[in-house]
Chains A and B, each alone.
Chain A
Amino acid sequence: MSRGTRFLLLILAALLICLLLGGCWDRKEINDLALVTGVAIDQHGDKNVEITIQIFIPLGSTQGSDSLGKATSGTGTTFIQSASGENIADALSHLQMKFSREIFWGHSEVYIFGVDRVKKGISKDMDFLMRDSEPRERAFVFVSKGKAKKILEKHSILERNTSEVLREMANNRASITTTLAHLQEMLDNESKTALLPWVEPMHAPSEPDPTKGVGYISGTVILHNEKLAGIASNEDTRGLLWTIDEMHNATITIEPESSDGTLSVQLLRSRTRLVPAIKNGEWSVTIHVKCKNQLIQNESDININQSSESLQAIEEQLERSIEQRILQTFEDAKTKYKADIFNFAGAFHRKYPGIWKKHQKDWEEIFPKIKVAVKVEAEILRPGMFNTQQSG
């Protein structure tokens, strides 16, 4: 072997060793990870925070035939573990001591705050969740009635675990949905008002086991200046959804004036525009709602026909119904919650940046005085093949 080739081989070997030594240091096998599916953050005592994580148990079922005897759905696939500390990071380090595997937050898509924690303000917790690299910014955030831990403790019957239930509910977008990134945005926006879905625990009916059950979304939590401003009912939530252009699923039932019985339409698609205006020092907002619907049930004896005036009458009533819902919500926002839940502030900021800068500090006084007009254009696109009510 000549000196040249020996030298080359030496270099090659050195490079290979570098590769082998440098590699693998941050290698994590899945077997070494505790996969977090959901996180609950509760107030603990006066100052401390309690973290509860729901951990996925990988039942070692490599073979299809082996897993037949094991219960892989419903119960038993997750368990929870809690720890408390001065802040989340501290609590987390205590929590890690209770685990043989490294806690991996990357797949946690659900964060639930206990209502008590929210009352204390969540900005400190948000700092960790946004700063640390592991929590997903697209994870959904909820606020629970009572302790958030109670929601995670439950065992779902239908889904893999209770976190999955909440995630799917948020995905359906039937109510307010908020991700971590979105929440941070709302906390920093002009109106300083954040909206979060309100979760209540629900026991599974006809199940003797009290641990069976899920949490479900039943309203909206309103945070104003990072403090709890109120909890909006389902009715107010719907008015809210119309206004902020987040309405995706809706079934509107009205009682036609001209006849007995009810009539239901389902929303196909809607679009909402906020048009702010400042005239002679008077601040006003016009809410334009355009929606297209289909008729899904007709209990009344009205003859539905595309060209007939009855359809128009129904459409007008639909429009009034939506308008009332929105106005009612605005009324509640002024009196009950005292917060600009629709982010009118943002709309004004965008349209009148100069004026906004001057009046930014007075927004709390301006908001209740705003004149709100609602203009709804509701259309029924698919009245169905039958003109009148079907019977027999």
Chain B
Amino acid sequence: MDILEYRHTPFSTRLTDNIEIIKKIYNDSADIRSRSFPLAGNTDAFLLFIDGMINEQLLDLHVLAPLLQARADPDKIDFSYISSIVAASQLVIAASFDELLRSISNGSVALLVDGLPFGITVSLPGWQQRSIEEPAAESIIRGPREGFTETLSVNTSMLRRKIKDPALKLSSFQVGRYTKTEIMLAHIDGIANHDLVEEVTSRIGKIDIDGVLESGYIEGLIEDNPYSPFPQIQITERPDVVSAALLEGKIAILLDGTPFCLIAPTTFFSMLQSPEDYYQRFMISSFIRWLRFLFLLISLLLPSLYVAVLTFHQEMVPTSLLLSIAKSREEIPFPALVEALLMEVSFEALREAGVRLPKQVGSAVSIVGALVIGQAATSAGLVSSPMVMVVAITGIASFLLPQYSAGIAIRVLRFPIMFLSGMFGLLGLMLGLLTIIVHLCSLRSLGVPYLQPLAPMKWSEMLDTFIRGPIWGMRKRPSLTGRKNTIRQAPFNRPEQGEEGAPS
């Protein structure tokens, strides 16, 4: 018989039969620990768990010891008797082998008793896990410093600590034929659009794949347009970001085994927003948002603009600037396009290397890289110094986008535009830009237009797009995700100016 088929065989009342099936299923796997013992001194019982998955101290003290020390008639031993003597909170009947195996894989101890046609699982998870740390990729100055970990239950507890109302609903799925990864779908009942929840549920339900190791698998399998460089699902490690998204009526997907949580639907402009925008004073945040818009354009277009203007439209450069550029370019052997490609490619390589390098080598390589890209390339006469500046500013600009995945999209798109502008000048640059804009207009994230609220235009939501309005001014939720329950705060939340001398 095939292993898979054993799973669906019913439990026998004879313990030896059940043990035989389990042994066949696990096929003497080396990390399986089991023990036979007499329950209450007279009934055969069998314990099975996976090494390292459970807390063995608790098992000995609160499960094994009471079971061994109990005294009872064999015919009185049933589930209610066992649950009355075992000091563990989660004691569940597993009606099929399939259920039993699932619990064992999630850190439970399986208990089989002679005469009982079911298994009992005692949840005693005790595996090693990372402690809660500050997310490395999304660091902020003001705001909570906790980030998700690889353990799903820790992550959901963090969410629950932020949103305490029972309206926060978490539904569980299992995905992956072999990994059996647990997935939690979180939404707030009463805010989130139910059609949206159903849509995500059905998309996840359709997934049939060997394994899901990271949320990227799910992202790739449920997004609307797989042929797009732009991420249509937001990724975050921060519970506060997830909570804010849930309160806007979005849906969060948490995965066991990764700290990265998915948020959908999302828009292009939320890629340009950092959680810190909402923790700082609104004028400062608005300024920083504009800065991001500016540097988004710089990151995408600056090298292309430089190449286009220098090879096709010399008359557009201010005279004195052109003269100094001409001076520095005089000994450069390459055309401007090649020069730009050379620098951009080596910068991207350096950056990628910086991510992969072992920490001990990292600093050495970054010093060498800085020298090669900056100092040495110019003094060797390979690259002009204005180009070094352009590349440096572009490099910095791509880090200004708070969403790393959006930053990568922009970085990749920079290269085709560079080619276009090297061949057709500003015409090519505009061609590339228009193509990107048209593509962005056609994108959807779970049916929500990607460029919302710019296209389709929603004036009321501009307040939270191009500027960050004051908290008390944003009374409504985003219309496309929070349609059911639009008002999110009481009117007149704006602080009144206090009277002089009045008690505060």
Interface residue B328 (Cβ < 8 Å from any Cβ of A): yes
Cβ A60 vs Cβ B423 within 8 A:
no
Contact of A62 among B310, B311, B378, B428 (CB under 8 A): B378
Roughly how many angstroms separate A321 CA and B423 CA in the complex, as a whole number? 62
- B381: A residues at CB distance < 8 A: 62
- B330: A residues at CB distance < 8 A: 31, 58-62
Q: How far is the CB of A62 from chain B (nearest CB, A)?
A: 5
0 or 1 for each of A28-68: is its CB under 8 Å from B? (1 = yes): 11110101010000000000000000001011111100000
Q: Contacts A58-B323, A160-B323 known; A28 to B378 CB distance under 8 Å?
A: no
Cβ B325 vs Cβ A23 within 8 A:
no
Roughly how many angstroms separate A72 CA and B336 CA in the complex, as a whole number? 24
Interface residue B314 (Cβ < 8 Å from any Cβ of A): yes
- B335: A residues at CB distance < 8 A: 27, 29
Selected interface stretch from A102-110, A111-119, A297-305, A347-355: A102-110
A to B contact number (C-beta, < 8 Å): 83
Cβ B315 vs Cβ A63 within 8 A:
no
Cβ B314 vs Cβ A107 within 8 A:
yes
Contact of B310 among A22, A30, A109 (CB under 8 A): A30
- A209: B residues at CB distance < 8 A: none
Interface residue A136 (Cβ < 8 Å from any Cβ of B): yes
Q: Contacts A30-B310, A59-B330, A61-B328 known; A106 to B323 CB distance under 8 Å?
A: no
Secondary structure at the B interface, as helix, strand, loop or mixed, is helix
Cβ A107 vs Cβ B332 within 8 A:
no
Roughly how many angstroms separate A202 CA and B425 CA in the complex, as a whole number? 43
Q: Contacts A29-B336, A30-B310 known; A60 to B327 CB distance under 8 Å?
A: yes
A85-113: which have CB < 8 Å to B? 104, 106-107, 109
Interface size on A (CB < 8 Å)?
Answer: 29
Interface residue A134 (Cβ < 8 Å from any Cβ of B): yes
- B323: A residues at CB distance < 8 A: 35, 56, 58, 107, 160
Q: Contacts A19-B423, A30-B314 known; A35 to B322 CB distance under 8 Å?
A: yes
- A22: B residues at CB distance < 8 A: 423-424
Contact of B326 among A27, A35, A72 (CB under 8 A): A35
Interface residue B105 (Cβ < 8 Å from any Cβ of A): no
Q: Contacts A107-B315, A160-B323 known; A63 to B310 CB distance under 8 Å?
A: no
Roughly how many angstroms separate A230 CA and B5 CA in the complex, as a whole number? 111
B318-361: which have CB < 8 Å to A? 319-320, 322-323, 325-332, 335-336
0 or 1 for each of A1-36: is its CB under 8 Å from B? (1 = yes): 000000000000000000110111011111101010
Interface residue B385 (Cβ < 8 Å from any Cβ of A): yes
Roughly how many angstroms separate A30 CA and B378 CA in the complex, as a whole number? 17
- In the complex formed, the residue of A with least CB distance to B307 is A27
Interface residue B379 (Cβ < 8 Å from any Cβ of A): yes
What are 13 pairs between A and B in contact, CB < 8 Å? A28-B311, A29-B310, A29-B311, A30-B322, A30-B336, A31-B332, A58-B329, A61-B327, A62-B332, A106-B315, A107-B322, A134-B315, A160-B320
B-to-A contact residues, CB < 8 Å: 310-312, 314-315, 319-320, 322-323, 325-332, 335-336, 378-379, 381, 384-385, 419, 422-424, 428
A-to-B contact residues, CB < 8 Å: 19-20, 22-24, 26-31, 33, 35, 37, 56, 58-63, 72, 104, 106-107, 109, 134, 136, 160
